[in-house]
Amino acid sequence: MQRILTLVVLLVIGTGCTRPPKQISKCLLDADRIISEVQEHRAVYGASGQYATPLGQRPFAQLLDRDLEMISCIASDPVNSPHYREALDLDDSVKTYRYMQFLNETEQMENFGRWEHQKQLEAVSVAASK
């Protein structure tokens, strides 16, 4: 997934794409909307649950699509990139919490712990062999 996002960013930067002022305004409005939605979500979901808000009702794939748009905005409007990054970070926190909840409820955290430990051992052994 991260490779795809990196590729998208490189393609947008590589083409020298710049956004006209109208599109920059749309990027800024989209970032504002994401920030506002996540803040509202955080204020409500503690009492009502993760999926009881409008943001909680959005499919994971839609949240990923929003990320791609924000990455495109960062690449083509570097002046406002801190604002777009804030929106991305907040959106990522929602996705991460949702995924962690899935791992916990499906009792896959133990599998993750074993997988993570194996990756750490592999990294240490590769570093030691150099």
pLDDT at 110: 87
pLDDT for 16 beyond 50: no
Handedness of CA 10, 14, 16, 17 (dihedral sign): negative
- Domain locations along the chain: 2-128
Whether the predicted model's global pTM rises above the 0.85 cut: no
Average pLDDT over residues 39-48: 79
Taking alpha carbons only, the member of 94, 73, 99 closest to residue 85 is 73
77-130 per-position pLDDT tens digit: 999 999 999 999 999 999 998 888 888 889 888 888 899 999 999 999 888 887
pLDDT for 15 beyond 80: no
Cα separation of 68 and 114, whole Å?
A: 31
